[in-house]
Each structure stands twice: as C-alpha cells, then as structure tokens.
C-alpha cells in the first residue's frame, strides 16, 4: 500500500517522475494537471471552468479541484494506494486530502519534494512549450506559476516537513538519475516500503 505525493515547482519534472515511479512502484499516478488538460480538450463542464484559470497560470479554485480529487480518490483502482502529482498546492487542499483519507482511516505516508533553481525551471518550461505547445508555458505565465508556487505551495511543503514525512530530492540532471535519487530517498524514509 502506497499513499504518497510528489510536490515541486512547475518544471521540476513531477509529471515525468510520477510516471516512472508509478511503473517502478506499481502504483497509480494521479496528475491533477493531466486530468484538467483532458477535460479542457474534451470541453467538459469541468474543463471549461478550469481553462480560464490554467491559461493564465492561476490555480483552479479549491472547491473545483477538491471535488475532482475527491471523486478520483473514491475509485476502485486507488483503494490500495496512489501517487499524487500536483496536489495539494494550497493549505485548503491539504485539509481536504486529510479529510478524504481520514474518513477511510488512512493517511499519507510520504511526500517527495523535487527541487530545481528558478532560472533552470523557466528555461525548461520555455523549452517544453516549443515541444508540447502547452499554452501555459509562455514566459509571463511561467513566472506567475512559479510565483504562486513560492507564495502558496511552499507552505504546503513546510506542513509536510513538520509532520516528518517530507523528503527532498535534487531534480536537476538526467531523468533516470533523478528517478534513482527519488527511489533511494523513498527507501531511506520507508525501508520496509511505503505503508
Ligand atoms: P501542472 O500540469 O501540474 O503544471 O498543472 C497545470 C495547471 O493545472 C496549473 O497551472 C493549474 O492551473 C491547474 N492545476 C493543477 N493542479 C492543481 C491544483 N492542485 N490546484 C489548482 N490548480 C491546479
């Protein structure tokens, strides 16, 4: 049973690492950003709501995001564990996640923080925009997303650090090396597996 999350600034490689860790650990990865993007593409009511915020790099409002995550975490495929990527990003989202898990007598085992310097992040994101065409990867929006990370999500990081379940991993360097670093950090925090 693995209940853990990946946290870090935009461009730190959360999505890439979440997929790789999902394979290695055999656990379902849930990316709130991916779920929103799919909904935007399919023009669902949730997608239409989320798009206006995503396009300018704002957080989708907590009520909307929390409802979506609550629904996703009630699915059968995550009853034995999950790897959350990109949630929680605000203090209200921490409370929501605690409540969702607490109702089932569960709690989060581990939070992995991926780090990288701001300038490297901006460079990576602008490079990614050329490849993926993501509309929220232009420089103004990227800087706004980084700013939101510093102003709001770092409080979330501090909260998990206080609980003693945070491990910090250097996210710079080749993808494979970062995955190995994360696996080693998980092993160190939870030598008997993440339960
Ligand atoms: P990401 O792919 O994780 O960078 O997320 C892309 C965008 O989706 C973000 O810039 C937000 O607009 C939205 N988003 C993703 N996760 C969250 C979240 N936990 N809370 C609010 N908005 C989110």
Per-residue pLDDT tens digits for 153-192: 999 999 999 999 999 999 999 999 999 999 999 999 876 6
Correct CATH for 2-189 of 3.40.50.300, 2.40.50.100, 3.40.50.360, 3.40.630.30: 3.40.50.300
Position in ligand 1 atom list of the atom nearest CA 34: 2
Per-residue pLDDT tens digits for 12-68: 999 999 999 999 999 999 999 999 999 999 999 999 999 999 999 999 999 999 999
Domain boundaries, the chain: 2-189
Q: What is the pTM of this model?
A: 0.94
The verdict on whether 128 is a catalytic residue reads: yes
Residues ≥6 apart with Cβ < 8 Å to 5: 83, 84, 85, 87, 88, 108, 110, 111, 112
Average pLDDT, the chain: 94
Q: How many CB atoms lie within 10 A of CB 147?
A: 12
Q: How far is the CA of 122 from the centre of ligand 1 (A)?
A: 16
């Amino acid at each position: 049973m693995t209940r853990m999350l990946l946290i870090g600034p935009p461009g730190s490689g959360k999505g890439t690492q979440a997929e790789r860790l999902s394979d290695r650990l055999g656990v379902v990865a849930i990316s709130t950003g991916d779920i929103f993007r799919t909904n935007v593409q399919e023009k669902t009511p949730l997608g239409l709501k989320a798009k206006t915020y995503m396009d300018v790099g704002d957080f989708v409002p907590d009520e909307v995001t929390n409802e979506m995550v609550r629904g996703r975490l009630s699915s059968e495929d995550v009853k034995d564990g999950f790897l959350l990527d990109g949630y929680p990003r605000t203090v209200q989202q921490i409370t929501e996640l605690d409540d969702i898990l607490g109702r089932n007598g569960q709690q989060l085992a581990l939070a992995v923080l991926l780090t990288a310097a701001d300038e490297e992040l901006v460079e990576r994101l602008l490079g990614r925009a050329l490849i993926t065409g993501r509309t929220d990867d232009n420089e103004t929006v990227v800087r706004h997303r980084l700013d939101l990370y510093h102003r709001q999500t770092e409080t979330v990081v501090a909260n998990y650090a206080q609980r003693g379940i945070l491990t910090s991993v250097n996210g710079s360097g080749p993808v494979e090396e970062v995955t190995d670093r994360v696996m080693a950090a998980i092993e160190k925090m939870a030598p008997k597996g993440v339960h």
